[in-house]
């Protein structure tokens, strides 16, 4: 009972609730329903505070050394970043050699686990084996980054962020930290899904970071969602009006914004143990979830990875991240978060949120996309490429390749990884030649 009372106090103290109470006026029953939904959202998932942290374990199991680093952002979120500094396959290599740095950034509801589930086909391990210094980032709110200097993750204040903040605070801080630790001047950057969005945010908003990246490899890039085909986005978009006539955010933004979404949970563990195990007759449900979200009909998903994918996903996020994407879908633009006219005027000095200035992204980016990706549609990626100063496109030569095949396809080593490695190696060879002449 005490726990419920505390939750009610927490809900009433949020700015969204106060604004919506004002809008609803005397409709107390409706406001009560609103309050109940908010409380449910605050408890959804039966979250496990420590989640299922397996990145270090998986790296060690494959006999690679691993370092865990803590990074504090300018707005006081505390992030966990993993480093794979060496490969057991390169024992005789001169340790004084200045290794090029490769930084990986995951997508929404994902984590550093994405990149190391398979020793034989994971790009991270392939690069370490070639002498690269690999770093794996974790955005605020996921299993590995649920800390803040002053805010507790059980408080809604902790979850008051979108991928905009992940871009300008988290990605900036993690890149700076990796560069400081390695004494390198720049990194090779690899990202998937929301990780690509945060790259666009950082480079367009703080363009001096363009000098801190060498090559950029964006898998299933997401910025524009005009042709987005995920059914839940279409449903959400029906309810998402940018601003209502009172000057407050839409119902959906007010109802769902600022809470934890799909954290690691005991229910998730049970699902993995009984549904996704190798001997389960219901194992098809595991792959069906990935097909539903990322694109139906793929023949490329590595089925042997399903138990590991299930164990580590979803890894948690803020509902505001989802709402920000729904706003992009609704508007057709790549813009900052829409808080409603009143707050927009205070925050942006204009009624609508500003567009991200993609012309500020001077670094040439390689973007990998496919026909069967529900999250990153062909037309949206090609439109994005036309707006970037320098973009190279690689369209996957399979019409059934989906959003998650970029990470866990049985063909990912040949189709994606070797291509990325070739481009990174070409850069390093050219760079070494220039440096030695």
CA distances from 92 to 40, 110, 230, 435 (A): 56, 35, 49, 25
CA distances from 244 to 33, 128, 164, 320 (A): 21, 52, 23, 18
* 112 in catalytic set: no
* 3 in catalytic set: no
Pick from 327, 325, 413, 418: nearest CA to 376: 325
**Which one is catalytic: 133, 338, 373, 405?**
373
Length in residues, the chain: 437
**Which one is catalytic: 253, 308, 403, 409?**
403
Question: Nearest 5°: CA angle at 265, between 260 and 266?
Answer: 155
- Spell out the SS3 assignment of 337-375: CCCCHHHHHHHHCCCCCCECCHHHCCCCEEEEECCCCCC
Bridge partner list, 82: 68, 136
**Which one is catalytic: 112, 193, 253, 376?**
193
* 152 in catalytic set: no
B/e letters for 370-389, b = 16+ CB within 10 Å, e = fewer, are bebbbbbbeebbbbbbeebe
Bridge partner list, 67: 83
Residue 87 near residue 128 (C-beta atoms within 8 A)? yes
Active site residues: 193, 373, 403
């Amino acid at each position: 009972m005490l726990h419920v009372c505390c939750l009610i106090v927490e809900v009433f103290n949020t700015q969204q609730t106060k604004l919506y109470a004002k809008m609803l006026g005397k409709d107390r029953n409706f406001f009560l329903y609103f309050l109940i939904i908010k409380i449910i959202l605050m408890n959804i998932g039966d979250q496990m505070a420590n989640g299922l942290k397996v990145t270090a374990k998986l790296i060690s199991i494959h006999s690679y050394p691993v370092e865990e680093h803590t990074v504090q952002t300018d707005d006081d979120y505390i992030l966990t970043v993993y480093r794979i500094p060496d490969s057991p396959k390169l024992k005789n290599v001169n340790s004084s050699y200045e290794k090029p740095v490769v930084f990986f950034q995951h997508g929404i509801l994902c984590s550093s686990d994405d990149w190391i589930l398979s020793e034989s086909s994971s790009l991270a391990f392939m690069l370490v084996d070639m002498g690269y210094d690999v770093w794996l980032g974790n955005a605020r709110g996921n299993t590995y980054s649920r800390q803040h200097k002053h805010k507790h993750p059980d408080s809604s204040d902790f979850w008051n962020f979108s991928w905009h903040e992940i871009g300008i605070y988290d990605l900036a801080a993690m890149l700076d930290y990796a560069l400081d630790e390695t004494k390198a001047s720049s990194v090779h950057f690899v990202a998937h899904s929301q990780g690509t969005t945060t790259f666009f945010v950082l480079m367009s908003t703080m363009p001096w970071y363009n000098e801190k990246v060498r090559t950029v490899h964006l898998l299933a890039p997401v910025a524009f969602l005009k042709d987005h085909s995920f059914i839940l986005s279409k449903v959400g978009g029906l309810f998402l009006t940018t601003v209502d006539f009172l000057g407050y955010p839409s119902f959906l933004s007010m109802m769902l914004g600022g809470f934890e979404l799909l954290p690691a949970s005991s229910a998730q563990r049970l699902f993995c143990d009984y549904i996704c195990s190798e001997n389960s007759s219901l194992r098809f449900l595991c792959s069906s979830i990935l097909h539903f979200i990322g694109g139906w009909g793929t023949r490329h998903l590595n089925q042997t990875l399903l138990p590991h994918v299930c164990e580590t996903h979803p890894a948690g996020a803020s509902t505001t991240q989802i709402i920000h994407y729904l706003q992009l879908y609704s508007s057709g633009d790549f813009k900052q978060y829409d808080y409603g006219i009143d707050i927009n005027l205070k925050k942006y000095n204009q009624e609508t949120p500003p567009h991200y200035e993609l012309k500020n992204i001077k670094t040439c980016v390689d973007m990998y996309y496919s026909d069967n990706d529900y999250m990153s549609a062909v037309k949206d990626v090609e439109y994005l490429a036309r707006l970037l100063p320098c973009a190279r496109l690689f369209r996957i030569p399979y019409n059934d390749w989906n959003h998650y095949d970029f990470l866990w396809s049985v063909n990912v080593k040949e189709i994606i990884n070797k291509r990325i490695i070739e481009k990174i190696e070409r850069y390093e060879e050219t760079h070494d030649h220039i440096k030695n002449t």
